[in-house]
Copies of this chain bind each other. A is one copy, B any other.
């Protein structure tokens, strides 16, 4: 397996097609590289000497130092000669942002580019770039409109730039961290399989997300994924599943998509977790990248909103969970401090006047119960008796070593706090159903990892 580090953590970078004009792709890329990257940057443009305070070079030949990575954002017709120049300069890898290849029917143009793949490593063309938090951002999307997530443990591989970009934006908005991100575009060289293997070995990545529209290497994908999932979960979303959808894929990326059943069966066979909707992708990644394994289907539910306790219980049972009766010890522990109008059985209803202290004691009592393998904590943060100390209490649930999901539904006040909880490493969901469904995926993966 080749080392793809150069795409995420290079020692020096050239931006070929760097532009002076704000808003242009070649300008935004340079802005993003400059604001994220701490090593040497070489903007390439024959018509200017300086952009964004950086010295500009007319071409790679003029640069004496070695270059690790080049980001290419020139018109499609100039891409091949740019890559050839990189080969001469012994650049290790290129990210080809430029579009105008097989996705618009220009197959010959793409093929002539593809022929260079034994001489240099290439990501793209027709991709949006790579991103490593606090290290490198080669994307052409404005950081004001599309926020980047902070450092975390979810690795993302995407065949659609748009979907990948939105996942980053959403992750940032929810406080969910990412380890590495790569948009593979038309994947003439580096593809999802190599990246899966790379992220499979990456110590910063605890869970891999793969957004796939098509693959020519189904069998290889399955056999490689099978090895990875025993130690690291892979979540895949496959689009282009219906006939009409696969026709749309063809005009979108120039590739052929396969029928739904084939992919779903193959994913299941090799232990890849399939996300059914785009919403599932981050929902599942959040829990799989942060929580320990769930050892059985016996879970506890704690709430300060009775109605939510009922919804969660219904949905948990529908999903095969056992909302098990608490042990006598746990019930007695709860009776010691809960008011008599609370509910001491599972789901435990701390009632609408619950305090942080009531949560702390109830969580400890339920997690000590040996029959409880994991806990769903529903907390309406807006209620008058709640305060922000609950954030610390929830963070400290980690010491019990059992998986936790939090459900907090609400507007701005609540969302500000759920973002903080995510940053503390807890998966938080806006509805009980999404919390339970994610817990179910954790249960499924825990069985796969055990095998």
Question: Chain A: residues with CB nearer than 8 A to chain B?
Answer: 23, 25, 28, 99-100, 103-104, 140-142, 144-147, 159-163, 165-166, 169-170, 172-173, 211, 213, 239-245, 247-249, 251-253, 257, 277-279, 304-311, 313-315, 317-318, 323, 340-341, 343, 345, 347, 349, 352, 380-384, 409-415, 430-434
Contacts and interface: CB of A to CB of B under 8 A. Distances in A.
B413 A251 contact: no
A144 to B, nearest CB: 7
A147 B412 contact: yes
A305 B162 contact: yes
A169 B382 contact: yes
B411 A314 contact: no
Nearest to A305: B162
A343 B278 contact: no
Contact of A307 (B100, B160, B343, B411): B160
B213 A244 contact: no
B252 A343 contact: yes
A414 B169 contact: yes
B352 A161 contact: yes
A104 B306 CA distance: 12
A433 B414 CA distance: 25
A100 B277 contact: no
A349 B211 CA distance: 19
A271 to B, nearest CB: 23
14 contacts: A103-B341, A140-B384, A144-B413, A145-B384, A162-B308, A163-B305, A169-B382, A169-B409, A170-B410, A172-B411, A243-B317, A251-B349, A252-B343, A257-B310
Given A245-B310, A431-B277, A165 B411 contact: no
The 6 closest A-B pairs by CB, nearest first: A160-B307, A162-B305, A173-B411, A252-B306, A245-B314, A104-B341
B239 A311 contact: yes
B245 A384 contact: no
Contacts of A413: 144-147, 169
Contacts of A244: 313-314, 317, 323
B340 A104 contact: yes
Given A144-B413, A169-B411, A313-B248, A307 B162 contact: yes
A170 B172 CA distance: 20
A213 B142 contact: no
Nearest to A341: B104
A257 B252 CA distance: 50
A323 B146 CA distance: 30
A310 B252 contact: yes
Given A162-B305, A166-B380, A170-B411, 16 more contacts: A142-B382, A169-B409, A239-B310, A239-B314, A245-B310, A248-B313, A248-B347, A248-B349, A249-B310, A252-B306, A252-B309, A252-B310, A257-B310, A277-B434, A278-B433, A279-B434
B253 A306 contact: yes
A9 to B, nearest CB: 25
Contacts of A161: 305, 307, 352
A211 B279 contact: no
Contacts of A349: 248, 251-252
A166 B409 contact: yes
B352 A318 contact: no
A147 B411 contact: yes
Nearest to A322: B244
B173 A415 contact: yes
